[in-house]
Structure 1
Amino acid sequence: MIEQNSLYRDLDGYDENAWHLMLFDQQALIGYARLVPPERPGDVVKLGRLVVAKNYRKQGVAQQMMKTLIQFSSKDFPNSDITLSAQIHLTEFYSGLGFKVRGESYDDGGIEHVDMFKTA
């Protein structure tokens, strides 16, 4: 939030029921992402909050985390598409993981985003 100068409360109520993927090096948290399971069978899985510590970027950490989340989703929620909100400059990254853009871009906390999806 500080790095992206996006200081606003983002309390969406999903954290309590979400799966949280945390990656550590020694005892330092270096990566985090969230998977919100579908509310009903066949509803979408929502991925988000993907963040990697600055010193660990461009080393494949985010890609491995996303692959883990996709694999988990496919195994536990095989009939659910996966959605996420991507910062515009990361659409190529997510496209490389099989996601497709859906809709127009929009401002989210001062940063342009676009919705993306991956079919089950």
Structure 2
Amino acid sequence: MMTTVVKTFEELTKQELYDLLQLRSAVFVVEQDCVYQDLDGKDTKALHVLGFKNDKIVAYTRIFGPGVYFEQASIGRVIVAKNERRHDYGNQIMKASIEAIKERFNETTIKISAQCYLNKFYTNLGFKAFGDTYLEDGIPHVSMIKA
């Protein structure tokens, strides 16, 4: 079973920060074989949604209020540890993130930049694709919105 916690950058412990950055690197850089600058200067402005199982971070997102990343509130760096993907943690961390945006920012309109192969996953959560696909760090993406 996974529990979720929402923290500001300042509230993260050093261990949590290390663990979430290690998880992001393991998936986005190593697994997806994508060389890119993950540490983009935006983590300090984000709220971090951490999914814990047995005191270990197994799922994660970062969320932003309107006007910080996009004009709308947004969710990014959506991740589930490779060995935990058979569970429903992707849905759980996204639902917790959507709820956190509602609670913290009083917003229901959310924009994401989604990897194209995850289109169905996000569509099932109420997001709709718009615009053309584009390459972000060499990976096909599409803009999606949930209103």
**Normalising TM by the smaller chain, what interval?**
0.7 to 0.9
What's the CA shift for 1:7?
Answer: 1.4
User: What residue in structure 2 maps to residue 87 of structure 1?
Assistant: 115
> CA contact under 8 A between 1:44 and 1:80: conserved in structure 2?
no
TM-score norm. by structure 1 comes to 0.88
TM-score norm. by structure 2 comes to 0.73
What's the CA shift for 1:24?
Answer: 2.1
Unaligned 5+ runs, structure 2 = 1-28
Unaligned 5+ runs, structure 1 = none
- Which amino acid is the alignment partner of residue 62 of structure 1? G
Structure 2 distance, partners of 1:79, 1:52, is 25
Give the alignment partner of residue 67 of structure 2, picking from 16, 34, 39.
39
Structure 2 distance, partners of 1:46, 1:14, is 12
Other structure's SS at 2:30 match: coil
Structure 1 distance, partners of 2:121, 2:57, is 22
- Equivalenced residue count is 117
- Which amino acid is the alignment partner of residue 62 of structure 2? R
**C-alpha RMSD of the superposition:** 1.7
What's the CA shift for 1:75?
Answer: 2.5
Give the alignment partner of residue 27 of structure 1, picking from 26, 45, 55.
55
What's the CA shift for 1:39?
Answer: 3.4
Structure 2 distance, partners of 1:79, 1:55, is 33
